[in-house]
Amino acid sequence: AALSAPLRPLAGLTVTVSAGGTREPLDPVRFLGNRSSGKQGVALAAAARDAGAKVRLLAAHMDVPPPAGVDVVTVETALELREAALHAAADSDVVIMAAAVADFRPADVSGTKIKKRDDAADPVISLVRNPDILRELVEIRDAASRNQLIVGFAAETGDADGDVLEYAAAKLRRKACDLLVVNHVGQDKVFGQDSNSVVILSRSGSEPQEASGSKTDVAAAVIDRISAELSRVVP
């Protein structure tokens, strides 16, 4: 008979999950956003809760409500998410960055509504880079030699220069997180859907692992994989 996995493999652990999409304001009524629904992040938070963890959900804009039984911190922008993530990570055993973080934000935010004017040129939006939260989390963890598992997500399409797995492997090296959950994005796939198909890449070099099904199924597979990685590194 196969060894059965523990019923609550994350009992006693604190797991932070970011979910949804950040919104970067242009003025008091407008923002730059993205299509992340938050469904996969919410499913991960629920799966971590069911695995026995104390869960903190860092919720950027989501189309779905947060699950019961988790602590929720609501954020709007990438900079707010960064603050919340660095704070929550300080005492988390696992950090899962499932949020779609805006890579850029408007360089200038107008304090008043931007008006169109017939006597002026059309406006141009200048953007500045947001910090890479995932990279920063890994750097802080490594500098402190903390025992913390950090998981990134990536949506890739592949293009003429490389396929999805090549881009994903490069991203895993660049981000230096422990696991990277990779979505293959095609037309009409992933965003807002209830099902998902992913490949989980590990920095420890173990074989890429595929998981597909509902976002709940995928979340369970990711949490299983996290539990397995933790039992490898924790003596």
Task: Give yes or no for residue 103 binding Ca ion (CB under 5 A).
Answer: yes
Residue 198 site contact among ligand CTP, Ca ion, none (CB < 5 to 8 Å, cut-off depends on kind): none
Cβ proximity to Ca ion: between 103 and 194 the closer is 103
Is 113 annotated in a binding site? The answer is yes
Q: Indicate if the alpha-carbon torsion angle 31, 59, 46, 41 is positive or negative.
A: positive
Which is nearest to 94 in space by CA: 199, 211, 177, 5?
177
CA 58/CA 84 separation, integer angstroms: 7
User: Is residue 97 part of the contact set for ligand CTP (CB under 6 A)?
Assistant: yes
CA 211 – CA 235 distance, rounded (Å): 27
Q: Give the footprint of ligand CTP on residues 65-94 (CB under 6 A).
A: 78
* Token pair recorded at residue 122: 């059309």
Residue 63 is a binding residue for ligand CTP (CB under 6 A): no
129 part of the interface to Ca ion, by CB under 5 A:
no
Neighbours of 145 (CB within 10 A): 7
| Short-list 9, 32, 33, CA closest to 20 | 33
The binding site for CTP consists of 103, 113, 131-134, 153, 171, 175
The binding site consists of 103, 113, 131-134, 153, 171, 175
Q: List residues binding ligand CTP (CB under 6 A).
A: 78, 97, 99, 101, 103, 130, 132-134, 152-155
